[in-house]
């Protein structure tokens, strides 16, 4: 929220214009945060904007709130001294995924295991060397070191094959997006999951 906004809670967003990236993890976060506050998505006016456009709209006051992820969150906080109404804690579980074609994983499950092992090693290094991660990332993404450091401090590391809990979580997101009309038809997430051979 803008630092001087009278909005003090998620419930106060009723009737307000909220910027977000359509179909993203923050779309689900907004739905869940509104539900937790006793509201529905229809109680706010979504403004579906890409992060750069959403930030510009937020800074000029043409939206009342902005739902966003790092490093855009860290950059927006630094530039605007914005207040956070809520975050995903207790509302959503955010995951990142590596995608591959079915034909690749079927033909080369050993390669998938090698990639997962390499990612796990890189993650272990990154978790133990946050300053080096900032030095590597900041020039590549074009954000100041302190912004990237704030984002890196909130990262979770670790790459493993999907388990039932993660698949169930993704199914809940898919079902929610179908219920609000974002997905035209329901589908089963489990059908897209790679099951490593035993």
Q: Which of 169, 147, 167, 162 is nearest to 74 (CA)?
A: 147
Which residue segments constitute the domains of the chain, with CATH numbers given?
10-80 (3.40.190.10), 102-192 (no CATH)
The answer to whether 11 and 39 are in contact (CB under 8 A) is yes
Listing DSSP states for 17-64 in one string gives EEEE-TTSHHHHHHHHHHHHTT--GGGSEEEE--HHHHHHHHHHTSSS
pLDDT by 10s per residue, the chain, length 198: 677 788 899 999 999 999 999 999 999 999 999 999 999 999 999 999 999 999 999 999 999 999 999 998 998 888 888 889 999 989 998 888 888 898 999 899 899 889 889 999 999 999 999 999 999 999 999 999 999 999 999 988 877 778 899 999 999 999 999 999 999 999 999 998 887 776
> pTM for the whole thing?
0.86
Q: Where are the beta strands (DSSP E) in 51-153?
A: 65-66
């Amino acid at each position: 929220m803008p630092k001087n906004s009278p909005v003090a809670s998620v419930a106060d967003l009723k009737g307000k214009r909220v910027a977000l990236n359509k179909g993203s993890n923050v779309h689900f976060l907004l739905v869940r945060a509104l539900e937790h506050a006793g509201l529905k998505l229809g109680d706010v006016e979504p403004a579906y904007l890409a992060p750069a456009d959403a930030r510009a709209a937020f800074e000029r006051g043409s939206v009342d709130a902005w739902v966003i992820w790092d490093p855009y969150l860290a950059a927006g906080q630094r530039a605007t001294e914005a207040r956070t109404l809520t975050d995903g804690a207790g509302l959503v579980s955010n995951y990142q995924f590596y995608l591959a074609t079915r034909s690749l994983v079927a033909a080369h499950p050993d390669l998938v295991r090698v990639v997962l092992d390499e990612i796990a090693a890189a993650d272990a290094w990154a978790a133990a060397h946050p300053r080096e991660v900032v030095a590597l990332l900041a020039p590549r993404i074009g954000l100041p070191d302190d912004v990237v450091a704030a984002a890196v401090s909130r990262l979770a590391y670790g790459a493993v094959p999907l388990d039932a809990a993660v698949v169930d979580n993704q199914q809940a997101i898919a079902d929610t997006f179908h219920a609000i009309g974002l997905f035209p038809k329901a589908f089963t997430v489990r059908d897209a999951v790679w099951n490593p051979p035993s």
